[in-house]
Structure formats: structure tokens, C-alpha cells
Amino acid sequence: MSIKILAFAGSLRKDSLNKKLLANASAYARAQGFEVEVFDLGEIPVYNQDIEDTGLPQSVIRFKTAIQGADLLMISAPEYNHGISGVLKNAIDWATRPDGDNPFSGKVGILMGASDGRFGTARGQIDVRKLLVAVDLLTIPQPYVYVAEGDKQFDAEGNLINEKNKASLEKLIARGIAVAEKLKN
Ligand SMILES: Cc1cc2nc3c(=O)[nH]c(=O)nc-3n(C[C@H](O)[C@H](O)[C@H](O)COP(=O)(O)O)c2cc1C
């Protein structure tokens, strides 16, 4: 049985480097014959337990359902002040509510990131990985996909230019798919 992939980026920006990186990852996985859904985190409100107590927002229910229906999660994470972006942390926190209903548990994930700095989200990804341990997502450790100086790494159509970045991304996706397929079948 073929696996399903859900992709989301921790940036809402129209010209987001992380959305571009995720689009490259999605195109590669689709070219291998896999179904990829890209989820925009823009509609997810800022977490507030008072809102949760009155019922989960529709956007959160949609996000949780999309995670539940996927076998592999592809996450592209910007680095904000050497850590995780609020958008990404907030969405992942919401998805683990209510307590005990965590759709990430036992799924497979891959993590990538692009920044305009020299370290390409290497520091931020350490922070993201801590959170992914907390939500019990089996995250493939390597290869690292750290797209540094991201403003120079995509062509006008948004395609990755650098062959090393492309090769790392493709290897990471292939590993994620292989593990997700093993777990599913
Ligand atoms: C609040 C904030 C903090 C940032 N901190 C870092 C940082 O620690 N390291 C880094 O490489 N870039 C940092 N940046 C720059 C981001 O790499 C850059 O804005 C990047 O384009 C964000 O990802 P996006 O294009 O997907 O929105 C920061 C940007 C913002 C808005």
C-alpha cells in the first residue's frame, strides 16, 4: 500500500524560503509517485486553552485529520533567534490537544530548513527536534538539510540551484519514505 505524505512549513510568508524548500521536496516526492498534501498553517489561531475548552477550531481539526491520514510528515522549519518559529511551535502544540490525542505519535517525519543566514537553520533544527521527541514523531536523523544563504539558493521558478542541497534533500526524503513504508506494510 502506498504511503501518504503531509507537508507543512513554519513560515506564513508569501515568498518564504521554507515554503520554496518544501515545494521542492513535494515535487520530488510526487515525481516518485507519492501523494503529497501541503497544509498551510496560516489559519491556525494562537493557542489559548480557553478556546480549546470551547471546542477545537475547525483549522486545528483539519490539521489533526491531515496528520492522522498521513504516513510521513515533511516539515520545513525557519530559524528564529536560533530556535523554532512561533508559527510551527503553535501549530504542533495545537495538534497535540486535547491531552492524550496526539496524531504525531508513531508517525515518521523528516525535517529541513532554509534561512538567509550562514548556518541554514542548523541551530533552529536542534530546537525543533526536541519538540518532535516530545510529540513522539520518529524523525529521520540525517542527512541534514540546512539551506544557508537561502536568498541565493533558488532560481526564479523556486527550484533549488545547489546540487548538494538537492542531493541531501532527495536522500532525506528517500529515507523517510523507506521507513514510513516499512512501518505501514
Ligand atoms: C524573528 C526572526 C528571527 C530570526 N532569527 C534568525 C536566526 O536566528 N538565524 C537565521 O539564520 N536567520 C534568522 N532570521 C532570518 C530568517 O532566516 C529569514 O527571515 C528567513 O527568510 C525566514 O524563513 P522564511 O523565508 O521561510 O520566512 C530571523 C528572522 C526573524 C523574522
Distance (Å) from CA 104 to ligand 1 centroid: 26
Distance (Å) from CA 47 to ligand 1 centroid: 22
- Cα 119 from Cα 134, distance rounded (Å): 25
pLDDT value at residue 82: 98
Which residue minimizes the CA distance to atom 3 of ligand 1?
80
pLDDT category, 7, cuts 50, 70, 90?
very high
CATH of domain 4-184: 3.40.50.360
pLDDT category, 71, cuts 50, 70, 90?
very high
Distance (Å) from CA 62 to ligand 1 centroid: 27
Which residue minimizes the CA distance to atom 17 of ligand 1?
115
Q: Which atom of ligand 1 sits closest to the CA of residue 13?
A: 27
Distance (Å) from CA 151 to ligand 1 centroid: 11
For the whole model, what pTM was predicted?
A: 0.98
The answer to whether 143 and 120 are in contact (CB under 8 A) is no
pLDDT value at residue 59: 98
- Cα 23 from Cα 118, distance rounded (Å): 22
pLDDT value at residue 30: 98
Distance (Å) from CA 168 to ligand 1 centroid: 21
Question: In this predicted model, what pLDDT tens digit does every residue of 12-53 receive, in sequence order?
Answer: 999 999 999 999 999 999 999 999 999 999 999 999 999 999
Residue ranges around ligand 1 (CB below 6 Å):
11, 13, 16-18, 78-82, 115-117, 119
Query: In this model, does residue 77 exceed pLDDT 90?
Result: yes
Which residue minimizes the CA distance to atom 20 of ligand 1?
115
Query: In this model, does residue 94 exceed pLDDT 90?
Result: yes
Query: In this model, does residue 185 exceed pLDDT 90?
Result: no
Question: In this predicted model, what pLDDT tens digit does every residue of 115-169 receive, in sequence order?
Answer: 999 999 999 999 999 999 999 999 999 999 999 999 999 999 999 999 999 999 9
Most ligand 1 atoms within 8 A of CB, residue of 80, 84, 121 to mutate = 80
The residues spanned by each domain of the chain are 4-184
Distance (Å) from CA 120 to ligand 1 centroid: 10
pLDDT value at residue 43: 96
Query: In this model, does residue 1 exceed pLDDT 80?
Result: no
- Cα 184 from Cα 24, distance rounded (Å): 25
